Amino acid sequence: MTSHLSPVPANPAAPRRRTVVLAAAATAALAPLAGLGAQAAHAAAAAPAPAFLHGVASGDPLPDGILLWTRVTPVPEAAPGSGLGPATEVAWEVSEDKAFSRVVARGSVTATAAADHTVKADVRGLRPQTPYWYRFTAGDTVSPAGRTLTAPAHDVSTAGVRFGVVSCANWESGYFSAYRHLAARSDLTAVLHLGDYIYEYQSGGYPEAKYVVRQHEPKHEIVSLADYRVRHGKYKTDADLQALHAAHAIIAIWDDHEFANDAWAGGAENHTPGAEGEWAARAAAAKQAYFEWMPVRPSVAGTVYRRLQFGTLADLHLLDLRSFRSQQAKVGSGSVDDPERTITGRAQLDWLKSGLASSNATWKLVGTSVMISPVAFGSLPAHLLKPLTKLLGLPEGGIAINVDQWDGYTDDRKELLGHLKDRNIKNTVFLTGDIHMAWANDVPVNMATYPGSGTAATEFVVTSVTSDNLDEMLHVPADTASLVAETAIKAANWHVKWLDMDAHGYGVLDVTAERSQMDYYVVSDKRRQDATAAWARSYRTLSGTQKVERVTQPVR
């Protein structure tokens, strides 16, 4: 696709002399066409107009810029994944006001079937920490308008930033009302999506067919580039998702379901070589569709790990924990401690350590798709398991519940947390999704000797938008299995200050120089389009403490 940036005159409403001359020339050139027959004129009038069926979006805000996105459907048959439809010129414009009377930037992008008729415009030259409105035009068709916000200037001590935080939105599990409630807020800097924006399963694969709330497309498991495009396109027909994108800039990373369940560098639990082709081809198709359909700037080697800065208050380090990781170990296996195994890959871990050490920001936020806090499960508290681990060849932190998390790659975690401690790096907050539960954790330097070993960071985990939690997977009433599991986890993991295994919803992270606070919100019923949302709990960490504490009310 090709983007053409045009300078905006001081008074964009007034035509320039050159514009008038060109218009007159065009009129003269078209004059001979006035003699066309009535049949040709009727055919031209009947031609279908382009349409913007998938909304608009913005993402990855910078102090001077923003990435804009949309998809045009030039003709009805040019559906997502079809490979059909002509190349279409799409104009875009950015304005200081919703009425578009003060346009400050405009340009055009060529939408082609090669990119599934998605378009992006990486707009620069904007003012820091400023709201803008944007829209697209194809022929006479004008898209809905979106609102976005640029980041604070890098050297500015901004009073605060506030992020909506979401993850795990399975179309078939329910409605995206959490997105609607975030879209209605006018106080957000951006929305952080921590992965599982789409799910790859066949219809009725997760959840079972009898529990499906609404059916996605295509109905089979997505494997090919066309499949991934169709699934992304289906998601972006959701009214609440469109509202979220139109209201706020999105900062997104992927997790496994943008590819296949429990993905790693060489495959996935939900991928069958041969029957479903080679993993490298499937992963490449998933990545291509993701970057086509998401307002995300590709980073190193076509991945999503990158860094955004919000004044001197916060640096946001975003991780890719699927592209470089080793295959998951077996549960209970001591191989989770193998230093040859990695979740980040060497280059990304070095990049993260360097960025954390060199950051001058008050807060170092890390977007990680899977939980970094250790979670052991057993009849003995984790600190009592330490002498048994050497005798039995068990993981040093106890029996890991989920080896897809950092628990399955303990050497990388040990190196990273040791780096935070050795360099005395304060105010690191991990922001996490993936496991369909809400958590507030201290991140211990060494779980086996916690709390004596101290804490290296804080972690806030948000629950899913719709994806099934424990009780739903077991098909039992809320608070049935979850209460037993919560009690057992807390008994074996003293650093876990709170967890909720039943709710669906979102988080709002409010960051000031004094503290970082996560407000947890829950929706009333994910199976209802009109679900309400209510505040549930809040936790914060004060600057310099690296300890989680409960707060009795959300930030207003």
CATH architecture designation of domain 161-551: 4-Layer Sandwich (3.60)
Distance CA 108, CA 6 (A): 8
Task: Spell out the residues 6+ positions from residue 82 whose beta carbon is closer than 8 angstroms to its own.
Answer: 113, 226
Q: What is the DSSP string of 159-214?
A: S-EEEEEE----GGG---HHHHHHHT-S--SEEEE-S-SS--PPTTBTTBGGG-SS
Q: Which two tokens stand for residue 12?
A: 């964009």
Is the domain covering 3-8+45-149 a CATH 2.60.40.380 domain? Answer: yes
Distance CA 166, CA 182 (A): 10
Residue bearing tokens 């991990």: 430
Query: How far lies 155's CA from each of 61, 134, 311, in Å?
Result: 16, 27, 6
On the 0-12 / 13-18 / 19+ scale of CB atoms within 10 A, 147 is middle
pLDDT computed for residue 17 by the predictor: 26
What are the tens digits of pLDDT across the range 41-62? 444 456 789 999 999 999 999 9
Q: How far apart are CA 206 and CA 182, in angstroms?
A: 26
Query: What are the two backbone dihedrals, phi and then psi, of residue 292, each rounded to the nearest 5 degrees?
Result: -70, -40
Q: Where are the domains of the chain?
A: 3-8+45-149, 161-551
DSSP state of 16: P
Contact 444, 456 (CB under 8 A): yes
Question: Which residue positions in the chain have pLDDT lower than 50?
Answer: 1-38, 40-44, 379-385, 387-394
What pLDDT shows up at residue 399?
57
Distance, in Å, from the CA atom of 296 to the CA atom of 308, rounded to the nearest integer, reads 12
C-alpha 336 chain-centroid distance: 27
Q: What is the pLDDT of residue 382?
A: 45
- What is 277-307 written as a DSSP string? --HHHHHHHHHHHHHHHSS----GGG---EE
List pLDDT tens digits, range 148-182.
Answer: 999 999 999 999 999 999 999 999 999 999 999 99
**Per-residue pLDDT, 414:** 96
Judge if pTM exceeds 0.85: yes
Distances (CA, A) of 239 to 148, 183, 189: 18, 11, 21
> Of 144, 150, 139, nearest to 44 (Cα)?
139
**Residue 61 CB neighbours (<10 A):** 25
